[in-house]
Amino acid sequence: MNNAGLLAIAPIDQFHYKDFDRMIAVKIKGMFVATQASVQHMRDGGRIILIGSCNSGRVPFQGGTVYALTKGAVVSFTKALARDLGPRGITVNNVQPGPTDSDMNPAHGPGAPGTVQHVALGRYAKPEEVASFVAYLARPEASYITGASLLVDGGYSS
């Protein structure tokens, strides 16, 4: 599983190149390098599960341009990688969580009231709710799911 937490938010005309470079390095280059290294040692029939974000397709706040760019890259990478690894029976999927209670984005933090108004269920996800879906994708029963970007977002994207 690939997952990197890093956030920099600013309008595009104020976004610092240093932050852009760091976001690309961690969220895109890091995903590529970790996946490439894993695939070299992975048995046929394995699983690759990437963690993206529901903000790859919907960004209801200003300043999220670069964040959305990096998460959109996860969607494209997932689809293409599923084609590359399909002949080996390796599945590749992207779990796209919505707002999830974490150290970086606490459910009771300063940004929570503005965020939760966009969630149909009216609350943040618990980490175990996302983790249980990731665990399902790793199971043999999920062997026919590949190339998918799957929302676990409480209706944030609806």
Whose CA is closest to 59, among 135, 137, 132, 118? 118
Tokens at residue 121, please?
Answer: 């269920």
> What whole-number distance in Å separates Cα of residue 139 and Cα of residue 69?
30
Q: Which of 67, 124, 136, 144 is catalytic?
A: 67
Residue with tokens 């995903």: 31
What count of other Cβ atoms lies within 10 Å of the Cβ of residue 85? 20
Identify whether 144 is a catalytic site residue.
no
Residue with tokens 């996946």: 35
Active site residues: 67
